[in-house]
């Protein structure tokens, strides 16, 4: 009896030990801690002035080019939201005298230790040469804690393309650190007031520079949008129809490379809120000639038309946006009373309401990775920009601003940057609508335009490289 009991205990203990070892995965440590939360912080960048490396002394014109290069690059780095800058008077080296490379590679080189001492994470050393019309820029980007060269590249361009060169350099630095290129070569198309009662279409760089007017209808031109390859713009403008003796909101396309313009749809009523399909062969827009403003898929020549939404009667279906994988459409509709954001399959089926809160939610746009939507929502007294998952969960507010009179400002018409890191929108906090961008976590906000006109419905271009 006692023997069998002892054997029983023995077997039990064997089984319990074996059982325990089977369930646990092979790991040496007996205790385990998992951390899924960390405070990410900006890296410290040391950006000394760019060195002129000509044979003769630099002319004022040369120095201006160097300054433009520097200002554009620094602005790009700041807007990325990844860097804080060390003040030049904290530098321990005289960067005018020391070379662009470390002591081991150059006689007059710099010492990593003098940069480590001031807690530098990234050191960027740039030199430039100008030969007549040709600009050549040598760049060296170092990660100081590991004394390693992260990016060493030379850029060449004509003197007139200084800004483009600086933007390319900024894009490459961001690509090296994060794996995806920055948006610094991208552009914005927008409707802008020119005279009282007139609005025209303008194109500018993402930072507001190089603004060019591309329409002159001398009426009201609105809702511009870029094609996926960035070559064509579609927009709507009020044009006078002589037969009907009335103005009609017609759809135009404008080829930015040739400057040619086409009248694509002049059906009676509204032809507006257009957006390109990702393959660039069709447009999705609101057309109202059948009674209700509904969404239609239309060929680029305006001829073939496929209905995508059908009322219900009395409802408006407007402001569509096609997802980057062409599977879904987000749009705004007041079919349930107030305007809300809806998502449906690209064939018009499976319509689901995304926003439930608020009185007025409009102008949805997809993020470049197709995971989230950005839209403008009216909250008690004013519009703000929100992002939300495609299923309506995890809504985040991006903006919150006050006007000078203390009231809350309206922030509207949002659009994602091509790298998905920023959102562009209009805000009337200074009085008239001006363009602003913000990082997608809402932390860093930047004003882009500084003038007295009013902007409407801007659209951020695709990446141009």
Partner 1 sequence: MSISWAFPTKCEHFPRRQLNPPRPHQNKNPRLQNLSNLRRPKNRCRQSQKRRPQPSFLNQKADPKDSRKNQEAALKRLDALARLERQAKADAAAKAIAANGNKTGATSAHQIKGNEVSRGNSLTGLTRLDHDRYLDDIEMRIRKMWSPPKFLAKASLRVRVVLFINSQGIIIEHKVVQSSGNSVFDDSAVAAIESAQPFAPPPDSLESLLAQQGVELDLEPAGYR
Residues near partner 1 (CB under 8 A):
2-3, 5-7, 9-10, 13-14, 16-18, 20-21, 23-25, 27-43, 80-82, 121, 143, 145-146, 174, 177-179, 356-358, 371-372, 377, 379-380, 384, 386-388, 393-400, 440-442
Residues forming a β-bridge with 249? 238, 270
Longest distance between any two alpha carbons in the chain, whole Å: 112
> Whole-angstrom Cα distance, residue 332 to residue 316?
8
In the block, tokens 């689901």 appear at: 352
DSSP string, 184-243: TT-EEEEEEE-STT-EEEEEEETTS-S-EE----SSBEEEEEE-TTSSEEEEEEEEEETT
Q: Closer CB to partner 1, residue 159 or residue 396?
A: 396
CB of 255 to partner 1, least distance (A): 35
φ/ψ region of 161 (left if φ > 0, alpha if ψ in -120 to 50, else beta) reads: alpha
Q: Which of 463, 464, 433 is nearest to 450 (CA)?
A: 433
Least distance in angstroms from the C-beta of 67 to partner 1: 26
Per-residue tokens: 56: 């003769």
**Minimum distance from residue 91 beta carbon to partner 1 (Å):** 21
Query: Smallest distance, Å, CB 456 to partner 1?
Result: 24
Contacts of 424 (CB under 8 A, 6+ apart): 188, 206, 414, 415, 416, 417, 435, 436, 437, 448, 458, 460
C-beta closer to partner 1: residue 117 or 178: 178
Which residue stretches of 88-205 are H helix?
112-116, 162-178
Closer to partner 1 at the Cβ: 30 or 132?
30
Q: How far apart are CA 370 and CA 202, in angstroms?
A: 27
CB of 25 to partner 1, least distance (A): 7
Least distance in angstroms from the C-beta of 47 to partner 1: 16
Residue 284: exposed, middle, or buried by beta-carbon count in 10 A (0-12, 13-18, 19+)? buried
Task: Report in angstroms how near the CB of residue 415 gets to partner 1 at its nearest.
Answer: 17
- Residues with Cβ within 8 Å of residue 70, at least 6 apart in sequence: 47, 49, 50, 126, 166
Please say which residue, 233 or 374, places its beta carbon nearer to partner 1. Answer: 374
Least distance CB 249 / partner 1 (angstroms) = 32
- Closer to partner 1 at the Cβ: 89 or 394? 394
Q: Supply the minimum distance, in Å, between the C-beta of residue 371 and partner 1.
A: 7
Distance of CA 300 to the CA centre of its chain: 26
Residue placing its CB nearer to partner 1 in the complex, 45 or 435: 45
**Looking at beta carbons only, is 12 or 263 nearer to partner 1?**
12
State both tokens at 305. 């038309």
**Quick one: 181 or 199, whose CB is closer to partner 1?**
181
Q: How far is the CB of 420 from partner 1 (least distance, A)?
A: 9
Q: Which is nearer to partner 1, 17 or 326 (CB)?
A: 17
Q: Is 32 left (phi over 0), alpha (psi -120 to 50) or beta?
A: beta
Instruction: Return the sign of the alpha-carbon dihedral for residues 324, 224, 192, 222.
Output: negative
Q: Which residue has the tokens 């660039």?
A: 280
Minimum CB distance to partner 1 smaller for 263 or for 356? 356
Of 3 and 258, nearer to partner 1 (C-beta) is 3
- C-beta of 17: minimal distance to partner 1 in Å? 5
Nearest-angstrom CA–CA distance, 353 and 371: 16
């Amino acid at each position: 009896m006692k023997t069998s009991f002892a054997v029983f205990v023995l077997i039990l203990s064997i089984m319990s030990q074996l059982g325990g070892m089977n369930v646990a995965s092979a790991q040496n440590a007996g205790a385990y801690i998992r951390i899924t939360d960390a405070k990410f912080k900006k890296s410290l960048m040391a950006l000394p002035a760019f060195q002129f490396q000509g044979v003769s002394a630099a002319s004022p014109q040369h120095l201006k080019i160097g300054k433009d290069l520097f200002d554009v690059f620094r602005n790009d780095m700041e807007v990325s939201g990844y860097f804080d800058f060390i003040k030049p008077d904290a530098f321990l080296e005289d960067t005018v005298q020391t070379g662009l490379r470390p002591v081991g590679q150059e006689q007059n080189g710099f010492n990593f230790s003098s940069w480590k001492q001031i807690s530098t994470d990234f050191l960027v050393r740039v030199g430039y040469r100008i030969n007549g019309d040709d600009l050549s820029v040598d760049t060296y980007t170092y990660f100081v804690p590991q004394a390693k060269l992260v990016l060493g590249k030379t850029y060449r361009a004509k003197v007139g393309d200084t800004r483009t060169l600086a933007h390319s350099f900024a894009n490459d630095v961001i690509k090296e650190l994060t794996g995806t290129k920055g948006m610094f070569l991208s552009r914005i198309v927008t409707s802008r007031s020119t005279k009282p009662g007139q609005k025209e279409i303008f194109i500018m760089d993402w930072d507001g520079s190089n603004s060019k007017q591309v329409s002159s209808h001398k009426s009201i031109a609105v809702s511009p949008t870029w094609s996926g390859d960035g070559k064509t713009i579609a927009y709507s403008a009020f044009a006078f129809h002589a037969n009907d003796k009335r103005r009609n909101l017609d759809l135009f396309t404008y080829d930015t490379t040739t400057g040619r313009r086409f009248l694509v749809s002049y059906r009676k009523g509204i032809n507006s809120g257009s957006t390109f399909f990702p393959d660039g062969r069709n447009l999705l827009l609101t057309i109202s000639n059948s009674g209700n403003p509904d969404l239609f898929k239309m060929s680029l020549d305006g001829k073939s038309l496929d209905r995508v939404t059908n009322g219900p009667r009395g409802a408006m279906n407007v402001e569509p946006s096609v997802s980057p994988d062409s599977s879904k459409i987000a749009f705004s509709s007041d079919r349930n009373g107030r305007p809300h954001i809806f998502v449906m399959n690209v064939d018009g089926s499976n319509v689901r309401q995304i926003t439930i809160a608020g009185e007025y939610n409009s102008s949805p746009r997809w993020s470049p990775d197709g995971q989230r939507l950005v839209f403008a929502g009216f909250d008690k007294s004013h519009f703000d920009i929100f992002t939300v998952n495609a299923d309506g969960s995890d809504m985040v507010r991006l903006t919150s601003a006050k006007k000078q009179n203390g009231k809350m400002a309206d922030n509207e018409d949002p659009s994602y940057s091509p790298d998905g890191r920023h959102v562009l929108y209009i805000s009337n906090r200074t009085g008239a609508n001006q363009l602003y961008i913000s990082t997608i976590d809402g932390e860093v906000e930047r004003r882009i335009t500084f003038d007295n006109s009013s902007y409407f419905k801007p659209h951020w271009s695709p990446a141009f490289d």
